[in-house]
Structure 1
Amino acid sequence: MDSPLFLGFDVSTQSCKAVVVDENLNTVFSTSLNFDKDLPQYHTINGVSIKDSSGVAKSPSAMFSSALQLSIERLRRAGCPLKRIVCISGSGQQHGSVYLAATAINGLLPDDDDTDDDEDLGEWQLEHGLFAMKDGPIWMDTSTSEECRQLAHCVGGDNNLAKLTGSKAWERFTGNQILKLRRHSPEVFDRTARICLVSSFCAGVLLGRPTRVDYSDAAGMNMMELSSLNWSRPICDFIDGKSADALTTRLGGQPVDPMAIAGNISTYWQHRYGFSPSCTVNYWSGDNPCAAVGMGLLNSGDILVSLGTSDTCLCVLPSMPVSPPPSAFIFPHPVKPGSFIAMLVYTNGDVTRRTVKGNRSWDQFSESIRASSPGKYLTLFTSTQEILPALQKGDPITAEIGNRDDEVSPGILERFPEGKLLVTGGGSRSEQIRQVFSDVFERSVVALDSPDAAALGAAYKAMLATAKLNGKDVIDENWYDRALQILLRRASDFCGII
């Protein structure tokens, strides 16, 4: 009997990645496509179709369907035995939303005899009027500051909102985007029969029908109570303007367990691409939850610092915090029931480091660190507007700093109060940056770059969901260690362990 395979997608801002793993966590097939290059019919720039000075940022919803179809076609052409895939899961860019018209409730896919194999799925959905709004807001949208203020006010302020939902009101969070839609485009809101996240929409495309949001991704909406994992009635009442029940219906019902099975793959995919009728679809989640799984953040106390364009810090918590700080974003762990993940985002990340590093290599940058006196400099850089803490763009805030490279470089490094088990991103190439994390937290630092971590985490989640369905628990210490070692081996730019 052929061994089972598990498929994970990551539908991100600019691309769609697909990873197929076997039951030993080995990657056996993968593919990636770029929205701008591979789906030019949607006329996006960096995956975005609408972006203006007011902060609006949107992407074409049909593009996600086209991306799934093309990715599956590429896997088939590469020789992937799609019939052996027993479960599919996925990751969607967090906070992004899709607005479906009533026609979509009857189905998101053509009937078996309704279209030829070569027809683009996204274009078919557009032609059949499945979308109440063709372009949906994504995480880059910052146009809802007024809605954020109003939403926080309705529950007594940001501290109360954070305690209730796990986060203060952020412009990118979906609840604020829905509120803006109802107030500024009521005709679009009225013809919206179903509101999806990118994750739940893509899961629905595989199922052939709209499906519910999982509670790990739902935490990024400012709408779900962390304590109950259900939609907050006061918040939904306020956003809908009439009835929390009406908005819950538009959302497809209450959030669901990220480890649950949503159903079997549609006959559309079975007949056209050869998937087995027994292939199931696991509820999709967001990119941050799935990346946490893909990077091995499974145990309480595990920490990941990603040194990217923005710097992010994720930490696994054993339980829901009593009073979540408004600065953090708290969401349920997608594969560890009862655990949560705290996420901090710092705007001033790689741009600042690279500005100071200049044309030097990371080795030269590290050498300038070694040439300086430790603990002498404390600097907060604001090359762009900072969100933690809230600071406007301006000059560096420093107690004492010089102008020589070997004096400026330590300031970049010493602004980080957080520690790390795993560190990834461009800055992880610096031995001295890794050494600081190791010294502060007195443990080994694993530095790696896994650009498809979210897709990989989704594939792992598909395997775990299948095991749970069959009554098995495969999350144990050995599984974690094997997953981490595989991540290290397959990392595209492994820096080392200190």
Structure 2
Amino acid sequence: MYLGIDCGTQGTKALLITEAGAVRGRGYARHQLIERASGAREQDPQWWVDALRTSVTQAVSHHGAEVLALGVSGQQHGLVVLDEAKQVIRPAKLWNDTETAPQNAALIERLGGKSAMMERFGILPMTGYTVSKLLWIKENEPENFARIRHILLPHEYLNFWLTGQMYAEYGDASGTAFFDIRTREWVREILDEIDGGTGQLAAALPPLLKVDQIVGAVRPEVAAELGLSPQCVVSSGGGDNMMGAIGTGNVRPGIVTLSLGTSSTVYSFLEKPLASVDPSVAPFCSSSGGWLPLVCTMNATNVVTQTLHVLGKGVEDIDPILASTNPGADGITFLPFLNGERTPDLPTAQGSMHGVTATNFSAGNLLRSVIEGVTFGVLNGLELILQGQPASKIQVIGGGSRSAEWRQMIADATGAVIQVPIEEEAGCLGAAIQAMYAYKSQQETPVTFAVLSERLVSVDEEKTAHPRAEKRPAYRAAQDRYNAVLKAQFPNL
């Protein structure tokens, strides 16, 4: 059997599957979150370990000795810093931490500006990426900065706890912004700009693994605690988006994955890096051997949930409201930037509503405008990734995928067939599939990701949404209006 673990922002999930993909166990444990008005979003890595203990124990209850390999999916961009004794120095700053925005802007300027960074390193740091967190610690916590001897991402820290070994892999490393996605190597020059060329930060980076390599075996004491076989090995793992790609079969060109969770992401597998990249696109590597250009927006189901709360509604009200209102919300446009925004890069932006009149101001139109705002933001990103090519099929995952009317909205707005994988926990499934891939590679019985996904990833046909051509013009007009309002509000974009 194979175990997939997904350490997200809100909690840690675990999924146990057989060789054929049958589910044999699940587990879940919530995390706490440190939030400050400054934009700080942090978690103590010990909370992740505690949640992993709980979720894995639940998932493997009667089958732990049969687990051959496990993989860990983790929230991208988080920064875990350890001292010489390999002890955590301070809480991890997360992907949605925006108080590092000044440091991100300063680094871009110091390294020659946006165009120069794209040309030199193949990626433009966004607020929330790992690199600016290091500069923030240097400027705000110099004593802690001086103690840094190891730099890990969330999934790498859990791999370290499981095995005692520190390694990185190409996919999650892409989101640090001190990694060249074209050469797949760490970039010391960027770190030297932060530590003054002392080499402190470059020396703190873990070595990189290829996807067919393993981190190591689970430590005996950890295996005993979790009820796992001491022979169980740990694959390289990766970022949650990279694992979500594997878990939706997005391991070959032509497939798009759109995640509607706390944040929203959209990405598509490529065998080569994009030759020309818009700065809004994160040209990441995949965790399956290729590349995974990705766009992330920081406001998705969190904004929808908050709006429902304000209206005194629940998630069960989404579908009836969308079904009873018109595309375009009768002229209301909502910019959903309640948490700032990454794409477009507006870390200090606020949400705003436009086009409200005495005749269109209703609870239904308000909710629709919010969901359309979230949708148009991520579809703008999809257009950048596809570079003018239409999407024919999109796999939708995350909490938002449970809404039939939201799925239909995406189908109508894009002209694509929308599918929902049967396994909702794509990150967990992707981690388990990667573990299977790595294990079989080590056993010299290799199998491709395409073959594995064909066998292990299936869609729920009842949730498939087909586009309605007659609705497309109304959504195109609404998206054009959204973009016009966005440009008027932020003319420097």
Q: TM-score range by the shorter chain?
A: 0.7 to 0.9
Structure 2 stretches lacking a partner, 5+ long: 383-390, 467-493
Q: What's the Cα RMSD here?
A: 3.3
Distance verdict in 2 for CA 1:72–1:450, change over 3 Å: closer
| Contact 1:166 1:219 (8 Å CA) reproduced | no
> SS of 2:73's equivalent?
strand
Shift of 1:182: 2.3
Aligned to 2:216: 263
**2:284 partner letter:** F
Distance verdict in 2 for CA 1:178–1:353, change over 3 Å: closer
Match of 2:38 among 43, 51, 54: 54
* Count of residue correspondences: 443
- Normalising by the residue count of structure 2, what TM-score does the alignment of the two structures yield? 0.79
**1:247 partner letter:** L
Structure 1 stretches lacking a partner, 5+ long: 36-46, 105-129
**1:222 partner letter:** A
The alignment status of 1:495 with 2:467, answered yes or no, reads no
Question: 1-side partners of 2:105 and 2:43: how far apart?
Answer: 25
Aligned to 1:347: 299
Question: 2-side partners of 1:441 and 1:475: how far apart?
Answer: 31
Aligned to 1:467: 440
Shift of 1:31: 1.2
| Contact 1:16 1:68 (8 Å CA) reproduced | yes
The alignment status of 1:252 with 2:206, answered yes or no, reads yes
| Contact 2:298 2:341 (8 Å CA) reproduced | yes
Shift of 1:208: 2.2
**2:37 partner letter:** S
Question: 1-side partners of 2:170 and 2:213: how far apart?
Answer: 11
Question: 2-side partners of 1:389 and 1:188: how far apart?
Answer: 32
Aligned to 1:70: 54
Aligned to 2:62: 79
Aligned to 1:13: 9
Matches within 5 A, 1:67-466: 67-75=51-59, 78-80=61-63, 82-104=64-86, 130-131=87-88, 133-165=89-121, 167-209=123-165, 211-244=166-199, 246-253=200-207, 255-272=208-225, 275-335=228-288, 337-345=289-297, 347=299, 351=303, 355=307, 359=313, 361-369=317-325, 372=326, 379=333, 381-382=335-336, 384=338, 385-389=340-344, 392-397=349-354, 403=360, 413=372, 415=376, 416-417=379-380, 418=382, 421-425=394-398, 427-428=400-401, 431-439=404-412, 441-447=414-420, 450-466=423-439
Shift of 1:348: 5.7
Question: 2-side partners of 1:466 and 1:222: how far apart?
Answer: 30
**1:261 partner letter:** I
| Contact 1:144 1:171 (8 Å CA) reproduced | yes
Percent identity over paired residues: 25
Superimposed CA distance per residue, residues 283-312 of structure 1 (whole angstroms, 9 cap, x where no aligned partner):
221111112212222221211223344433
**2:94 partner letter:** I
Distance verdict in 2 for CA 1:230–1:265, change over 3 Å: same
- Bigger drift between 322-331 and 264-273 goes to 264-273
Question: 2-side partners of 1:291 and 1:447: how far apart?
Answer: 13
Shift of 1:139: 1.8
Distance verdict in 2 for CA 1:184–1:409, change over 3 Å: closer
Aligned to 1:112: none
Question: 2-side partners of 1:203 and 1:91: how far apart?
Answer: 10
Match of 1:484 among 436, 443, 457: 457
Shift of 1:175: 1.2
